[in-house]
Amino acid sequence: MTGSRQAGARSAVLDRHFEDTAYGQLDFSDDPNITQQDILAALGPDADAMMAEIDVDVDELIRLINAETTYLPPIVIPDGLEEDRTASPEARRAALDEGLRQTTKVWKRRFLKGAVLSVMISVAGGGAAALAMNKSITVDVDGQQQTVHSFGDTVGEVLQDAGLSVGAHDSLSPSPQAEVGDGGVIKLERGRQLKMIVDGSEHTSWVRATHLGDALGQLGMAGVDKPGTWMSMPKDGELPLQGATVEIKTLKNITLYDGANEPKKVTTTAVTTKEFLGEYKLTLGPEDAAEGGLDVKLVDGAEVHISRTGVSTVVQKESIDPPEQKVDDPDLAKGKTSVEDPGTPGEKMVTYKVTQKNGKEVSRESVSEQVITPPKPKIIHVGTKQAPTPDIGDGSAWDRIAKCESGGNWAINTGNGYYGGLQFDKRTWDAYGGDEYAALPNQASREQQIAIAEKVKAARGGSYSAWPVCGAKA
C-alpha cells in the first residue's frame, strides 16, 4: 500500500495520533526510552514489510537510533508543571508524572518518525520502503504554492515542518488536525488588519486578501470607487501582511456661498470645510467666518457659507450747517422770529471706519474730521415786543367755556394736540391770526385767546359750534 493510498484511507479521521498496524491501533508510548511500540507506530501499517525489505528488525532499529551517531533533540520539560503549590505532594507528583508522559509522547510524535526514516535510509541506501514515509505536500499560502516534504501525518505537523504558523485571523483548509497524505494540498490564507477611513469615519476589519480590491469585496465595499473618488491606495495595490491603512474620499457636490458673490456649484473630495477651502485656495480674513466652523464634515449636496467681513477707511467731503445766532428784536412781536441772514454752509473732510459684511455696509464710525471752510452763522431775530391786549369786552361767556374745556387753565398743554383754555389746535390758531400773539395758544394771554375765539365764532355765523359740548355753557 502506497503512502497516498494510506492517507486516503484515513482522510476522515481527525485529531488522531495513533497508527493502524498489524498489531492494532498503536500510539507512541509515554516511556522515555524508545520501545517496540514506538517503532511500529512510526512505521505505520506497513511496518513489517518495510523492515523486511531492508532486512532489519525492531530491536536493530532501536539500537541504531540509540547509537551516538543518530541525533535526537532532548525532551524539554514544559514550564509550569509544578506551579500548583496548593495541591498535596501526592497530587503534585501525579500531575508532574502525567505532564512528563504527555511531553514524552508529543516529543516522539514530532521527532521519532524522522529518526526512524533516517536510520532506514542509512541502512537501505535510500530504499523505497523508507522513502514511502516522506510525503510531498503542496502548501498554498495566499496563492503562492510551495512543495513541502514532511513526515507529518496531519496538516498541523506538515505546517510545523514547513516553519509555518497559523494566526488567529488566518484561514486554514483542511483543519490543523486533519490527516494529509502524499500529494495533498494545504491552503493557508493569511489575515490582514485593514483600517478603512471613509470620509473621516474609521473602522478596522480583518480580511483574507492580498490586494485592496479583493479586501473591499470581502467588506461589501466593492462599489466604493465611483468616478471621482480619491483613494490612498489603488484597488490593485498589495496589502502587506502586517496590515494597512487606506483612506477613501468620495466625490461630493457642494454649493459655495462666498460673501456677496453669486452661489457657485463645485465638486470636491474634501472631508471638512477646512480641507475644502484649502483645495479651492479660499482664505479667511481676520473677521471672516465659515458657517458652522472649519471642522464641519461635508456630505454630498452640502452648502458652504463664508461670511466676508471687511473694514475699510473712507474719507469724504461733507457740508457744515450754519449755526443759528439769535438776536432779540424789540420791534418784533413777542413769539415772532425773522431770518435776517440765512448764513452759508461750511465744508469739512470726515474720515470714517466702514465695516461691510457680504458686500453690505453694517456700520460706520467717524474717526476724525477737518474743517476746510467754516460756516457763516444764520442770524435770526427773535421778537420781544409785547403784543397789544385786545379789547374783548365781557369775556365771562368764554370763561365758562374754558372752565368746561380745560378747567379754566389758560396755559395748559394737554399733549394731545390742543392748547390753552379754549383748546385750540395749532392749525385753527394760525388760520385766525393767533400766531401774531404767540406760536402756540397756551403761550398767549387769556385776552388774546378770547380775541381769536371771537374770530372763530364770527366765522361760524356767531355760534359756538366750534365747541360743540362746552359751547352750551356760554
Q: Which CATH architecture has domain 192-249?
A: Roll (3.10)
Q: CA 465 to CA 297: how far, in whole Å?
A: 79
CATH of segment(s) 135-189? 3.10.20
Classified by CATH at the fold level, domain 387-473 comes out as: Lysozyme (1.10.530)
Domain with CATH 2.20.230.10 in the chain: 311-380
pLDDT score at 428: 96
CB-neighbour burial class of residue 152 (10 A; exposed 0-12, middle 13-18, buried 19+):
buried
SS (H, E, C) the chain: CCHHHHHHHCCCCECCCCEEECCEEECCCCCCCCCHHHHHHHHHHHHHHHHHHCCCCHHHHHHHHHCCCCCCCCCCCCCCCCCCCCCCHHHHHHHHHHHHHHHHHHHHHHHHHHHHHHHHHHHHCCCHHHHCCCEEEEEEECCEEEEEEECCCEHHHHHHHCCCCCCCCCEEECCCCEECCCCCEEEEECCEEEEEEECCEEEEEEECCCEHHHHHHHCCCCCCCCCCCEECCCCCCECCCCCEEEEEECCEEEEEEECCCCCEEEEECCCEHHHHHHHCCCCCCCCCEECCCCCCECCCCCEEEEECEEEEEEEEEEEECCCEEEEEEEEEECCCEEEEECCECEEEEEEEEEEEECCEEEEEEEEEEEEEECCECEEEEEEEECCCCCCCCCCHHHHHHHHHHHCCCCCCECCCCCECCCCECHHHHHHCCHHHCCCCHHHCCHHHHHHHHHHHHHHCCCCCCCCCCHHHHC
pLDDT score at 86: 63
Q: CA 334 to CA 345: how far, in whole Å?
A: 29
Q: CA 12 to CA 28: how far, in whole Å?
A: 21
Domain with CATH 1.10.530.10 in the chain: 387-473
pLDDT score at 408: 95
Contact 117, 135 (CB under 8 A): no
pLDDT score at 133: 58
Q: CA 426 to CA 421: how far, in whole Å?
A: 13
Contact 238, 230 (CB under 8 A): no
Whole-structure pTM value: 0.50
Lookup result for grid cell 449636496: 301
pLDDT score at 17: 46
Answer yes or no: CATH 3.40.50.300 is held by domain 311-380. Answer: no
| Mean pLDDT of successive 10-residue stretches along the chain, which has 474 residues | 31 38 68 86 79 83 73 66 64 77 80 77 60 78 91 87 91 93 93 95 95 94 89 94 95 93 94 96 90 95 92 90 94 85 95 88 92 95 83 89 95 94 96 90 94 95 94 87
In whole angstroms, how far apart are CA 403 and each of 91, 390, 397? Answer: 128, 21, 10
pLDDT score at 151: 76
Domain with CATH 3.10.20.30 in the chain: 192-249
For the 252-307 domain, the top CATH level (class) is alpha beta
